[in-house]
Amino acid sequence: MFESRFICICGLPGIGSVGKVATDYLVTALECSAILPFFSHSFPPQVMVSEGLAKLMNAQLLRPKQRDNLLILSGDAQPLDVLGMHELAGSILQAIKKQGVTDVITLAAYVGETNETVLGAATDADGAAALSKEKIPLLRGGAIGGLNGLLAGMAPLYDLRGYCLLGASSGSDPVDIRAASNLLGAINELLHLDIDISLLEPVIEEEEVAEAEEVDMNYI
């Protein structure tokens, strides 16, 4: 089903930066180029500096090098207030609809008791059935906050189908690479992207060693 759709994958900073890390990995792996920036007066009042160059915080819509039915949305931050979130989500959804997008898949973190590594939700019954068919367990209750939730939830207002894939996370790590890696594995299978996510394994192993050493020190 997903192969015949025009999909935009979205990931903004959130708990554990799970969606942001996963999306930025896709941007690199798929050799994306920026096609449209989004600015908001509700972004944090600061600029991002790299190599001496300062730029306003923004979200970027990007196009993969060799895929005509896929766009990626990544960003520096989420708006700080509710009105700003709704305004930015509306601007993004309106813009991607003009690009021909039919489905929005947001990537985020799930913090709670679960035996699953990835959970999913959709904005209609057919979408939920499609996730189940692809062996993605459905989230049975709760809420998905922030822009990652709104972009999926508001998608039907623009005649788009919305999905959210959630990587299970403890919520205690500033950057949860393992949860992001699990999300990448799920989206890789779902959309048959054929990208190599093994590059994240050394980072995960380093984190596990650091955690083990920290625990050992607590018992000295």
| Domains assigned to the chain | 2-218 (3.40.50.10900)
Question: Of 204, 137, 166, whose CA–CA distance to 18 is shortest?
Answer: 166
Indicate the DSSP class of residue 219. T
Classify residue 219 by burial, with Cβ atoms within 10 Å: 0-12, 13-18, 19+. exposed
Chain segment 101-152, per-residue pLDDT in tens? 999 999 999 998 899 999 999 999 999 999 999 999 999 988 999 999 999 9
Say which residue, 112 or 74, is predicted with more confidence: 74
- pLDDT value at residue 2: 81
- Rounded to the nearest 5°, which phi and psi values hold at 146? 75, -170
**Is the pLDDT at 42 greater than 90, yes or no?**
yes
153 by DSSP, 3-state: which?
A: helix
| Closest to 104 (Cα-Cα) out of 171, 23, 37 | 23
Mean pLDDT of the chain: 90
